[in-house]
Chain A
């Protein structure tokens, strides 16, 4: 089973700042990594798939990068609606489908 480790657990930033989230896999997943955003009381939604492709209707301030075992999600300039929890997910080795433990981006 591929274990995904996200860091940091919490990121405290102000609107307008740049956010960089990390996801590390226990073995190579190639570029089969996705990022999801979950706001309080809502279901997750996919932001990025295959490491760097934005999903439909996702603003271009969200970008993803990496391959193999190390991945990043970058939010270039935080908007108020971006404060949420972010999860990475791999689809290289299944079952099971696995998620990281999440990074909470909170308002500083």
Chain B
């Protein structure tokens, strides 16, 4: 069945960088857009970014624009989130989630990974 597995989380100092990965299996990865959604401890869900199925376009939340970059390698069935200039408010569990649309963004998240925890602290 469809599966998404995040990795790369950890503790990082403010101002430093970190890259998250999301490995996909059980579906044709190159046919679907993939989102990153984060959740600060004890808080609600915040959408972070999305990349189209073929990597030709991305969208970002204002809170991360210019600091985070979403990318994908369809040959490896893997999504990435490169995070620079990290701040305390970036501390959260980061989920990758599949968009439900086939080769088009529907902005509905039908499968989610279990998340990777990123803690920004000195």
Contact = CB atoms under 8 A, between A and B. Distances in A.
Interface of A: 34, 36, 38, 42-46, 49, 55, 87, 89, 91, 94-102
B50 A102 contact: no
B18 to A, nearest CB: 20
A46 B59 contact: no
Contacts of B60: 95
Contact of A43 (B50, B61, B106, B112): B112
A43 B46 contact: no
Chain A interface main SS type = loop
B110 A43 contact: no
B113 A43 contact: yes
A95 B110 contact: no
Contacts of A34: 108-109
Given A42-B114, A43-B95, A102-B44, 18 more contacts: A43-B97, A43-B112, A43-B114, A43-B115, A44-B109, A45-B112, A46-B109, A49-B100, A49-B108, A89-B109, A91-B107, A95-B47, A95-B50, A95-B61, A96-B59, A98-B47, A99-B46, A100-B44
